[in-house]
Structure 1
Amino acid sequence: MEDRLFWCTEISQSFFMVDSSDVIDEILNSLSNDDDEEPIEWVIRRARHVVDNPLLGKLKKLHTIPDGFPLVVDEHSGSICEPILLFIYDKFYKNGPSTYVKNTALAYCSDLKDWFIYLEDFGLTWTQVSRFNLDSYISVMNGTVSPTTGKRYATETINRRATTIESFYKWGREKKFASADTPDDGLLLFGGGRAKPVPKRTDENAPISVLQPREVNLLFKELGVEPAHWVYHEKEATSRDWLACNIALKSGLRISEVKGLKVSQFSGLFKSNINPLKRYPIKITGKGGVSRFAKFPGELIMDIKLYVEGERSFISSRSRAEASDFLLLNPLASHRFKGASVSVRTLERKFASACIRAELYIQETIESVSWGREGIVRLDKLTETPSFVFHDLRHTYAVWSYYKQKQSGVAEPWLDIQACLGHADLTTTWRIYLRCAQDFEAGISDGYMRKINAI
């Protein structure tokens, strides 16, 4: 199943060999197939390079998608969701590699995957959707919690998903994908104007979450061993999660940037004498494919070196990861996925679990929603919600860096922080990350700063 998920189905594979209009005809012909099937479970997978099909050798030109291109597939059958595939291809790659932004394509793919899951739960096909169905989906998100975070959906997420779905159906109208089951007011026939944006809630204007030194110490005790203390004979132990969080805390990287780090970015430094007090520039490719230089403290580089030469080397020698350049690998205890590059979801999950074990959580009653063919089932349940998410390490880096540089006499510390975080506009740095810094700057004691500097 694992390998099969990365291959195109017969229809989708032919899409990259011939004109897309041929595929449109095949999809339209397949829309009338109402055979009962096992419930679909949509997930996202990444494409691997497609090889030439000898049966299609007569074709003059071979069109392929790039390695890592996001695909929405059925976990059970491995079949690709072709409408989403066609849409993502047309929007992000049809006009050439220069228009392809991997993270943006993945975000669109994720939004549409969740939309198709919603439709599947309510027994709807994507061709049957009307404005009422989209408005209902927005209403459900606005009144429930995310199954991923356990918190209410952010207004920004709700509005972004609505925009993505409307863009998808606009494309569908242009391709004339309407079918026999499309209602007269269906989005494949009639746009009906854009959905009204959901206004931001009052609680979303609250200051960002920043970990205090005591909370950081409690959290890191639950994240696993430090690279210097890892030993090969303790099979369940790993320093991967500790290191991933330490990188985010001390360099300000986003979780996707931490996951994407490569050994080759540091190998040159490993050959030199590393000064633990010096900050070393490391080139990072961030959101939208934009590059910047993040500054890694020497002590962090030393931790990375210990991990590479210790646990990572041990994992590589006992798995299929020897050719991988990714820095953070799954430990041998991961069994089936040992030696693979760690996923963003795994890092999020490990961080949340560590928060719970460190008692950095709040108990609250949330509404659990399950969707079925008989309607919505709502249940209230008491849950332990982590007080922080992985991204709060980036917030903490920004605020702590501000304090450290101000204490060192730097007149405009926000300029360095803006560059390290990769913000094109200084206003973003101020509005999101440093808004709360000055509010309690006067209350920061020398003892507090000593605690920060000691971490």
Structure 2
Amino acid sequence: MTISVHKAVLLPKDSPWFSHALPENFPFLVIDEQSKIIEPALLYLIHTQLKRGPRHWKQHTADAMAYDLRDWFDYLAHCQWVNPVTKKLEVGKPWDVAAESDYIAWRDTMQEVISPQTNKHLSSRTIARRQVYVERFYAYAQKKGWYDGEFVISKIRKGRLSHDINQGEFDPESNSAKAEVVVSEYRERMEYGEPVRPLSEDEWHRIQLELGPLPSEREFDLRPSRDRIASELTIGTGMRVDEVTSLTEFQLRDLHQAWLVADEEQRKDGFFALYIVKTKRLKPRTVLVPGYLIPELMVYLDNEREASIIRGMTRANAKGQKYNRPTSLFVNHTESAVHSGNAVRATSLSCEFKKACLDAKITHSVEKIDIETSERYRVNLSKHHFHDLRHTFAVWTYHNLKSNGETEPWKEIQVRLGHANLKVTMDTYLKVVDVDRRNAGRVQYNFKRTMGQPDA
């Protein structure tokens, strides 16, 4: 029995089922051999993702939940168990008779699984996330009366059972923290479960050069400036990548009006408030945009962005298609074969940032495992991700506030990052700034354009 994730298709508007249909690309689980939808899993996904309506769900979150649940249901589909009714050994255990012992065995099985995407063992974060979604699914099923009893009786440890599964240090029978995970000081976990890796000044300078010119410098460097200015905006404000891609041209034009009436010093060294609503947990907050970035963003808006939109409009007209002018601030490049002028996706900015890291030779060596031969090999991957710009903003802000006499800058950083509480901020960055304290004197909170120039 095979379990797959399928995606909903968009029904015609004249269909009698249109008003009841799932949003386009909404995921659900299907038993392939029977072409049967796993209804409890679908209802759980609808409950968690569509409770605020079909316009307020996130594709990547829904996909993660669906694929994590698929892994659990697929595990059960291959489980051998004795049917208490027939007294026979059967393959494929029903989800509603699975118990805590099955859950623990599944977690232990994941310790040895090789990810086909990364060719590495599943990370502790991935295993823990899968466990969380499965536990929440069963809690929902219990509430609905679909599952009798209690799925999780004891406190089950989540994630990896030891720092290195190849050293034989973990006990597969254990469901408690017998083996302590050794985590380096720079692998402090943050709100996404990722390690904190702030950029050094040298790394940021080298990445800037690979990302392209600032919009005002394109007279001498014809490369696109979108990825550079988007990265500058993130390291200057601490916004997340999806928050950056959610910005609109109208927000920038309003910001520019405030910039125009400010005095020269404020324009050069000050900050301008930008209210954003499309944030994590949809909790609005105000970010402070460095004044020097605003005219650069306007140059991008009126030149490179407009050229991309014209290219997209021209291609659509040539094909007899309708083109909807985007309101998003950042759009796809003119060189894009199909999507020129459309709103840029967060994944596009992230991919371009990784490429810049690779081109700048800012990499780290990672061991992977060939799924077919089990042979180990090493590859060089990007040392940083786009989200590390947000980390860098937090660390540099800390040093800047400390150098200006702030004894406890955490509250300010919490507000600027939009964390729900102060503990998240301190747990995320406390060890990082302590380890990096030796660099506090040379790390400067300076996002001036000159940082992109060789003599900065």
Q: TM-score, normalised by structure 2?
A: 0.69
The match for 2:272 is 280
Q: Cα distance 1:444–1:145, how it changes in 2: closer, same or farther (>3 A)?
A: farther
Alpha-carbon offset, residue 91 of structure 1: 3.3
The 1:229/1:240 distance shift into structure 2, 3 A limit, reads same
Counterpart Cα distance in 2 of 1:82 and 1:48: 20
* AA of the residue aligned to 1:220: Q
Q: Aligned to 2:43, which of 60, 83, 86?
A: 86
Are positions 1:51 and 2:9 aligned together? no
Q: Aligned residue for 1:254?
A: 240
Alpha-carbon separation, structure 2, partners of 1:204 and 1:70: 38
The AA in structure 1 aligned to 2:227 is D
Shift of 1:309: 1.0
Q: Which residue of 1 aligns with 2:181?
A: 201
Query: Partners in 1 of 2:220 and 2:26 — Cα distance?
Result: 35
**Match in the other structure for 2:252:** 266
Please list, as runs of the form range in 1=range in 2, the aligned pairs for 1:289-300 lying within 5 A after superposition. Answer: 289-300=282-293
More deviation, 321-330/121-130: 121-130
The 5 Å alignment of 1:15-414 reads 42=5, 51-54=13-16, 62-63=19-20, 70-71=26-27, 83=39, 84-94=41-51, 97=53, 102-103=57-58, 106-116=60-70, 138-139=107-108, 141-143=110-112, 153-168=122-137, 191=151, 196-198=156-158, 201-203=181-183, 206-207=187-188, 208-230=196-218, 237-271=223-257, 272-273=259-260, 275-285=267-277, 286-320=279-313, 323-369=325-371, 378-414=374-410
Per-residue deviation, 1:420: 0.8
In 2: Cα distance, 1:190 partner to 1:233 partner: 63
Root mean square deviation of aligned Cα = 4.2
Measure the CA separation in 2 of the matches of 1:267 and 1:243. 16
When residues 258 and 429 of structure 1 are mapped into structure 2, their CA distance, relative to the original with a 3 A threshold, is same
Q: Cα deviations across residues 3-48 of structure 1 (Å, max 9, x unaligned)?
A: xxxxxxxxxxxxxxxxxxxxxxxxxxxxxxx9xxxx9985878x87
Residue type of the partner of 1:277? D
Structure 1 residues 267 and 142, CA gap change in structure 2 (3 angstroms):
farther
Q: Is the 8 A contact 1:72 1:80 kept in 2?
A: no
Deviation at 1:136, TM superposition (A): 6.0
Write the letter of the residue equivalent to 1:343: R
**Match status 1:429 vs 2:425:** yes
1:197 maps to amino acid: R
Instruction: Label 1:80 to 1:223 Cα distance change in 2 as closer, same or farther (>3 A).
Output: farther
Q: Which amino acid aligns with 1:281?
A: A
Distance 2:3 2:428 in 1: 39
Q: Is the 8 A contact 1:112 1:164 kept in 2?
A: no
Higher mean displacement: 167-176 or 305-314: 167-176
Query: How many residues get paired?
Result: 387
What letter is aligned with 2:390? R
Work out the CA distance in 2 between the residues paired with 1:231 and 1:322. Answer: 29
Residue 450 and residue 432 in structure 1: after superposition, are their counterparts in 2 closer, same or farther (change >3 A)? closer
Is contact 1:101-1:289 (8 Å) kept? Answer: no
Does the C-alpha gap of structure 1 residues 315 and 425 become closer, same or farther in structure 2, counting only changes over 3 Å?
Answer: same
What's the CA shift for 1:343?
A: 2.0
Any gaps of 5 or more consecutive residues in structure 1?
1-33, 178-186, 371-376
Aligned partners of 2:237 and 2:287 also within 8 Å? yes
The structure-2 alpha-carbon separation of the partners of 1:368 and 1:251, relative to structure 1 and needing over 3 Å to count, comes to farther
Deviation of 1:169 after TM superposition, in Å, equals 5.2
Residue 449 in 1 paired to residue 409 in 2?
Answer: no
2:416 is aligned to 420
Per-residue deviation, residues 390-411 of structure 1 (Å, max 9, x unmatched): 2211111011111122223344
Q: 1:139 to 1:267 in 2, by over 3 A?
A: farther
The alignment's TM-score, normalised by the length of structure 1, stands at: 0.70
Distance 2:217 2:7 in 1: 36
Query: Which 5+ residue runs of structure 2 have no aligned equivalent?
Result: 80-91, 159-176, 189-195, 314-322, 452-456
1:246 positional shift: 1.5
* Percent of pairs with identical residues: 22
Is the Cα contact below 8 Å between 2:4 and 2:70 reproduced in 1?
no
Q: Classify the secondary structure of the residue corresponding to 2:367.
A: strand
Secondary structure, counterpart of 2:288 in structure 1? strand
> Match of 2:432, SS?
coil
Deviation at 1:124, TM superposition (A): 6.1
Q: Tell me the secondary structure at the aligned position of residue 218 of structure 1.
A: helix
- Taking a change above 3 Å as real, the CA distance of residues 176 and 404 of structure 1, as seen in their structure-2 partners, is closer
Structure 1: distance between partners of 2:47 and 2:67: 17
Opposite residue 449 of structure 1, the aligned amino acid is Q
User: Aligned residue for 1:18?
Assistant: none
Cα 1:42–1:337 change in 2 (3 A) is farther
Task: Mark the CA change 1:162 to 1:188 in structure 2 (over 3 Å): closer, same or farther.
Answer: farther
SS in 2 for 1:314: helix
